[in-house]
Amino acid sequence: MLRIVPSGILHTFSTRFEADGITFEEPSDNLFAFNSPVGACPVCEGFGRVIGIDEKLVIPNSALSVYDGAVVCWRGEKMGEWKTEFCRRAQKADFPIFEPYYKLTREQKDYLWHGKTGASSPEEEICIDNFFKMLEKDQYKIQNRVMLARYRGKTICPQCHGTRLRPEAGYVKVGGRAISDLVDLPVTELKKFFDTLTLTAHEAEVGKRLLTEINNRIRFLLDVGLGYLTLNRLSNTLSGGESQRINLATSLGSSLVGSLYILDEPSIGLHSRDTDKLIRVLRQLQQLGNTVIVVEHDEEIIRAADYIIDIGPQAGRLGGEVVFQGDLQQMLAEKPQDTRSYTVKYLTGQETIALPDSVRPWTNYIEVKGARANNLRGIDVRFPLNVMTVVTGVSGSGKSTLVRDIFYRAMKRQFDEVADRPGEFLGLEGDLQMVKNIEFVDQNPIGKSSRSNPVTYIKAYDEIRKLFAAQPLSQQMGFTPGFFSFNTEGGRCEECKGEGTVTVEMQFMADLVLECESCHGKRFKSDLLEVKFGGQNIYDVLNMTVNQAIEFFDAHGQSKISKKLKPLQDVGLGYIKLGQSSNTLSGGENQRVKLAYYLGMEKTEPTIFIFDEPTTGLHFHDIKRLLAAFDALILRGHTLVIIEHNMDVIKCADHIIDLGPEGGAQGGNVVVCGTPHEVAACPDSYTGRYLKEKL
């Protein structure tokens, strides 16, 4: 404090940053990091969510107004008094009681939840918070404890509103926005913000290098087709393809040279519109002075390659050879009749995935009304029955939200089965009685342990075990079918418990996995392996590929077993071994094993099968077989709903639902529905533009 004499003017100074009664800290990097104690919200500790009253449980249907009963806990004769009183007071507060909840402003929602701001007696306010405080006060009543438990869950932190940062981080603004506002924007919107950012000469000089880095990294994310993502998106909600493309953008941002990049199907989950962008990114990496090796099945990426190595000709024991290597011009110059390469045959047009002669007509359907979860815009969508429906759209347009989060979960609950809570929608209509089951055929492993394998999953191993138990030596030794399982005591090697390997713990180093010295990796006791059928013991049979096993059992008159194995061959898995551990199968292989299981079921009720990008990891030749398997399911009276980007599958659909037009906030609408030709004729559909080339 300083007084000027003789004028008497008093000057006050402070060693702290202060304004309007608020003390500000000098910003540091850690202030804007929720992983640091300096920047993390003190209430949720940087998680963004706390255990409390869950908004989605209290208001599950945001399309309803308060008057129509949006607040579920205010229903009923007794609790309805709160709704009645709230509606009576709402007029004075200018609160729209007839407006759907999702249309309310932030201030109106705060009034509904917390009451009037600055009220003289907050505890007398009629609001959702005070309703639950009343229940907590009277927790000695069992009905109140039950009601509290019903609406409790992980909810957005009331302190940071989900930003995960302490309030002080929000005091620092750039271009009028805090860091929490910027990470909430899709990458496309973020680019617009930084493109139009106005800074003073001093600010521009200080931030010049930082802005260059920021703009470059935003551009890289856009180049790999991730413009619809927000920067605060949780990594565990990203698909495998999205994660890989983020790593690709990181590599571009690092500007490394002289590096070798190996990418495994970077086009997974990418719409045809974005494939050109991905090719440009890969070319940029190469032009920086790097080597890029891509494992890929996408035709456009194959055609863009400088050098192509084709492995084949078949899969499994019939593959493993280099059937072609050279550039695209050399590949196209190959004579199809002289080559063993299926890639050459498809790229030169000798082999094709043919268009169906006609689309299947349909009259019955199930309709999802008012789908509003995530970025969906309250859309109504019909899913036809007994046909193949393909849901298309650019990445982030809302396909998985509609099909998996709403349609699948809602149908599961319709059948009184356990399922996660569906995304927000109004209801299901249509011919619900015509379907008895719904299955989501994903790419998760077919078993939870290394003991599970394809032959046990499709229920063919039961017949094989019975066959070996029926052999004379088995009956003489008293071997039952259970002895021929490596999962139960009896016939399995007890030294390794049927694993075939023994794990040696090395404490501070990686564990060693060694072949079992007792059974030499064969998993069974030696006396059990003496039982043979057609000159082969149980270990030999499990070591056969599906193709070999079908030939073997057909040659020895065991058509019942061959019939059970045939679906694996039909879906293009003839090369895998019967006893191959499930943890060695790829996601696409796991999905096709599940498909084979359903194909092998003899008597099944009408079922809806949902597939999420089933062509992942598949060659043109495999896709052709997959489509034949899909046709077989439909012939049995089932319904297929497929999320897909592959144009060869889309062109074979009976009905297409195209979402978009863009991803993220610019998506969530139905662009067009109809047959492939109707979609191709739609000028607003990105899918239609690329589909037109295939028809």
Please give the pLDDT value at position 386: 96
Candidate ranges 326-340, 421-435, 448-462; pick with highest mean pLDDT: 421-435
Q: Which residues contact 65 (CB under 8 A, 6 or more apart)?
A: 96, 97, 98, 99, 100, 101
Considering the domain boundaries, does residue 30 fall inside one?
A: no
Considering the domain boundaries, does residue 103 fall inside one?
A: yes
Q: Do both 125 and 238 map to the same domain?
A: no
Which tens digits make up the pLDDT trace of 220-270?
A: 888 888 888 889 888 887 776 778 788 888 887 777 889 999 988 888 888
Average pLDDT, the chain: 89
Q: What number is the average pLDDT over the span 448-477? A: 90
Q: Which residues contact 380 (CB under 8 A, 6 or more apart)?
A: 367, 368, 369, 370, 371
Q: Determine the number of helices (DSSP H) and then strands (DSSP E) in the chain.
A: 26, 21
Domain that holds residue 673: 365-445+606-692
Please give the pLDDT value at position 155: 86
Contact present, 580 and 549 (Cβ < 8 Å): no
Split at pLDDT 50, 70, 90, the class of 603 is low
Q: Do both 92 and 65 map to the same domain?
A: yes
Q: Where is the domain boundary, 568, 583, 598?
A: 583
**CATH code (residue 54):** 1.10.8.280
Residue 9 pLDDT > 80, yes or no? no
Q: How many whole angstroms separate alpha carbon 231 and alpha carbon 182?
A: 8
Please give the pLDDT value at position 366: 97
Q: Where is the domain boundary, 552, 568, 583?
A: 583
Which tens digits make up the pLDDT trace of 186-213?
A: 999 999 999 999 888 888 898 889 999 8
Judge residue 553's burial from the number of C-beta atoms within 10 Å of its C-beta, 0-12 exposed, 13-18 middle, 19 or more buried.
buried
Residue 42 pLDDT > 90, yes or no? yes
Judge residue 418's burial from the number of C-beta atoms within 10 Å of its C-beta, 0-12 exposed, 13-18 middle, 19 or more buried.
exposed
Residue 1 pLDDT > 70, yes or no? no
The one-letter code for the residue type at 105 is T
Please give the pLDDT value at position 93: 86
Residue written as tokens 């309803």?
64
Q: Which residues contact 160 (CB under 8 A, 6 or more apart)?
A: 41, 43, 44, 48, 166, 167, 180
Looking at the DSSP assignment, which residues form a beta bridge with residue 365?
384
Query: In terms of pLDDT, which residue wins out, 93 or 255?
Result: 93
Please give the pLDDT value at position 138: 86
**CATH code (residue 551):** 1.20.1580.10
Q: What number is the average pLDDT over the span 337-363? A: 90
Q: What number is the average pLDDT over the span 304-308? A: 96
Q: How many whole angstroms separate alpha carbon 595 and alpha carbon 601?
A: 10
Residue 546 pLDDT > 90, yes or no? yes
H-assigned helices in 67-200? 80-90, 106-114, 128-137, 142-150, 179-182, 187-195
Q: Do both 430 and 472 map to the same domain?
A: no
Looking at the DSSP assignment, which residues form a beta bridge with residue 51?
154
Considering the domain boundaries, does residue 377 fall inside one?
A: yes
Q: Do both 544 and 576 map to the same domain?
A: yes
Residue 76 pLDDT > 90, yes or no? no
Q: How many whole angstroms separate alpha carbon 211 and alpha carbon 217?
A: 10
Q: What number is the average pLDDT over the span 108-132? A: 84
Residue written as tokens 């404890």?
145
Residue written as tokens 């004769």?
77
Residue 684 pLDDT > 80, yes or no? yes
Residue 7 neighbours by CB distance under 10 Å? 7
Residue 559 pLDDT > 70, yes or no? yes
Number of domains in the chain: 4
Q: Do both 199 and 295 map to the same domain?
A: yes
Q: Do both 300 and 198 map to the same domain?
A: yes
Phi-psi domain of 353 (left: phi exceeds 0; alpha: psi -120 through 50; beta: other): beta
Radius of gyration of the chain, Cα coordinates, nearest whole angstrom: 31
Q: What number is the average pLDDT over the span 429-436? A: 95
Q: How many whole angstroms separate alpha carbon 498 and alpha carbon 91?
A: 73
Distance, C-alpha 596 to centroid of its chain: 22
Looking at the DSSP assignment, which residues form a beta bridge with residue 502?
514
Considering the domain boundaries, does residue 23 fall inside one?
A: no
Q: Which residues contact 456 (CB under 8 A, 6 or more apart)?
A: 447
Which tens digits make up the pLDDT trace of 131-190?
A: 999 998 888 888 889 989 999 988 888 888 889 999 889 888 898 999 999 999 999 999
CA nearest 473: which of 559, 551, 538, 522? 538
Residue 19 pLDDT > 80, yes or no? no
Split at pLDDT 50, 70, 90, the class of 293 is very high
Contact present, 367 and 381 (Cβ < 8 Å): yes
Which tens digits make up the pLDDT trace of 359-394?
A: 999 999 999 999 998 889 999 999 999 999 999 998
Contact present, 347 and 330 (Cβ < 8 Å): no
The one-letter code for the residue type at 678 is E
Residue 688 pLDDT > 70, yes or no? yes
Which tens digits make up the pLDDT trace of 657-666?
A: 999 998 888 8
Q: Are strands 655-660 and 669-674 parallel, antiparallel or unpaired?
A: antiparallel
Considering the domain boundaries, does residue 38 fall inside one?
A: no
Considering the domain boundaries, does residue 407 fall inside one?
A: yes
Q: Do both 473 and 579 map to the same domain?
A: yes
Q: How many whole angstroms separate alpha carbon 108 and alpha carbon 93?
A: 9
Q: Do both 573 and 681 map to the same domain?
A: no
Please give the pLDDT value at position 223: 83
Please give the pLDDT value at position 5: 57
Considering the domain boundaries, does residue 558 fall inside one?
A: yes
Q: How many whole angstroms separate alpha carbon 383 and alpha carbon 391?
A: 10
Please give the pLDDT value at position 7: 63
Q: Do both 612 and 638 map to the same domain?
A: yes
CA nearest 594: which of 581, 606, 610? 610
Please give the pLDDT value at position 412: 95
Looking at the DSSP assignment, which residues form a beta bridge with residue 429?
367
Give φ, ψ of 406 to 5 degrees: -110, -65
Looking at the DSSP assignment, which residues form a beta bridge with residue 533?
536
Residue 501 pLDDT > 80, yes or no? yes
DSSP state of 476: H
Q: How many whole angstroms separate alpha carbon 326 and alpha carbon 341?
A: 13
Q: Do both 549 and 466 map to the same domain?
A: yes
Q: What number is the average pLDDT over the span 589-615? A: 88
Please give the pLDDT value at position 425: 92
Q: Do both 518 and 440 map to the same domain?
A: no
Please give the pLDDT value at position 25: 74
Q: Do both 633 and 665 map to the same domain?
A: yes
DSSP state of 636: T
Split at pLDDT 50, 70, 90, the class of 687 is very high
- Looking at the chain, the whole-number percentage of residues with pLDDT higher than 70 is 97
**CATH code (residue 232):** 3.40.50.300
- pTM value? 0.84
Distance, C-alpha 142 to centroid of its chain: 40
The one-letter code for the residue type at 97 is I
Please give the pLDDT value at position 594: 92
DSSP E strands, 151-243: 152-156
Considering the domain boundaries, does residue 6 fall inside one?
A: no
Cα separations in angstroms, 308 against 280, 285, 286, 292, 550: 18, 18, 15, 12, 34
